[in-house]
Chain A
Amino acid sequence: MKQGRLTKMNSRMAFVAGIGFLLLAGVTLGQSPVPTFDKLPDWSGAWSMMGGTVFDRASQTGQGGALAVGVREHPPYNAEWEAKYQKNVALKDQGRFPDVITNCGVPAGFPRMFNLPDPYEFAVRPEATWILAENGPNVMRIYTDGRKHLDDQWETYTGDSVGHWEGDTLVFTTIGLKGSRDGDSILDRTGLILSDKAHATTRMRKISATMIEVQMTIEDPKALTKPWIVTKQFQKMKAETRLYDYACAENNRNPVDEKSGQTLTLGPDGKPLN
């Protein structure tokens, strides 16, 4: 009797311990476990985006940079969004395509989050990874604790990102993007835009001791005819590189004139010089 009770108790304890282990390990069916710290890659230090702020240099057409007059990128837009983009390119060529981040105050959003000048830091913990961009400043949170996207996620600039680790690769999906719906979120100054139906799967990994690669597969049933794959790379900066406040509104002498779309240059008296 006593022996039987002990066996039953041991079985219960083993079951509870097993559940506890699974919870601690973050294992859920069909998903990679939440790694422990010692299994995470070392992405410490400061990192600099390679290749300038043209979003998709790899798919660039024509000669010269896409910021040059008449040169464009080629996301696989459908006819309606191609027309919208051509309108933006025409404004850009006239120096009148407004970049809202020039006026300070709104996030760059995703995917422009991975398309900024100035250094980045990547804070990696088992339950989440934070993308920290000095420029803006901009922050993106990627939850890796096993949570799912909300079923009723509303749209924001950077959206909602959840993911998991496949070895040294951080894989995450991003939904809930407002895109160009309100006219205050673009991908770069060539006039690239996406809709509020855009979503993405991103794979982020260290491809060498000094380079991190971010590959985004962007889908947008409203604007694109097929998935658009864009790769950005980040090079490690020298040791002890410091990042600072990016107080965009501290002394912004280049606001955008909302009527003309032109970037102004303010003189010492605060009046436009152009």
Chain B
Amino acid sequence: MKLINKMGIAVVVVASMAITIPAAMAHHSGVEFDTTKIVELNGTIKEFQFKNPHTWIQVMVPNPKGEPVEWSLEWGSPNALGRDGYRPTTFPVGAKVTVRINPMKNGSPAGAFIGAKLEGGKTIGTWN
């Protein structure tokens, strides 16, 4: 595990491995995400957009100056997630959360969602 400081935000490169996301990114190619990296962010849930064609988790993450930055995390379709038991209430607004993502290749505050751990220990998605 390699700890790096990117944009001043505490970012952990958990692993460097090929993660394929065709099922989650069925609507588009997913080429904009760096699937060789997994980064970890700590923040607060602003919104869970449980809509087609993909769900988006909006998370407020403080930058090095302590200013909140809104990150956009893309996940699977609400249809597929709904069949797996997830709901619009899966990410409560205001909940403290640690998320793992494949980041954007260009460093923008966005990524492909992998998994999350809510304050209290509940995990969502892939969290090994």
Contacts and interface: CB of A to CB of B under 8 A. Distances in A.
**Chain B binds chain A:** yes
Interface of A: 52-53, 65, 67, 95, 99, 101-102, 104, 116-118, 134-135, 189, 241-248, 250-254, 256, 262-265, 267-268, 273-274
Contact of A118 (B20, B80, B104, B108): B80
Contacts, number: 98
Nearest to A244: B79
Contact of A246 (B28, B29, B52): B52
Given A53-B26, A244-B79, A263-B29, 8 more contacts: A65-B20, A99-B29, A116-B26, A250-B52, A251-B51, A251-B56, A265-B74, A265-B110
Contacts of B79: 118, 134, 243-246
Please classify the interface of chain B as helix (H, G, I), strand (E, B), loop, or mixed, using the class held by over half of its residues: loop
Interface of A is mostly: loop
A244 B53 CA distance: 11
B106 interface: yes
Contact of B27 (A52, A95, A102, A264): A102
Interface in B35-79: 49, 51-54, 56, 58, 70, 72, 74, 77-79
Given A265-B74, A267-B72, A273-B72, A251 B28 contact: no
Contacts of A265: 32, 72, 74, 104, 108, 110
Interface string B88-118: 0000000000000000111011100000000
A245 B70 contact: no
Contact of A263 (B31, B53, B77, B82): B31
A244 B78 contact: yes
Q: Which of B26, B53, B77, B106 has the most CB of A within 10 A?
A: B53
Contacts of B29: 67, 95, 99, 102, 189, 263
B23 A248 contact: no
A254 B28 contact: yes
Given A99-B29, A274-B104, A268 B22 contact: no
A246 B29 CA distance: 18
A246 B22 contact: no
Contacts of B49: 251
A254 B27 contact: yes
21 contacts: A95-B32, A102-B29, A104-B53, A118-B77, A118-B79, A118-B80, A134-B79, A242-B83, A246-B77, A248-B52, A250-B51, A250-B52, A263-B28, A263-B31, A265-B72, A265-B74, A267-B70, A267-B109, A273-B108, A273-B110, A274-B106
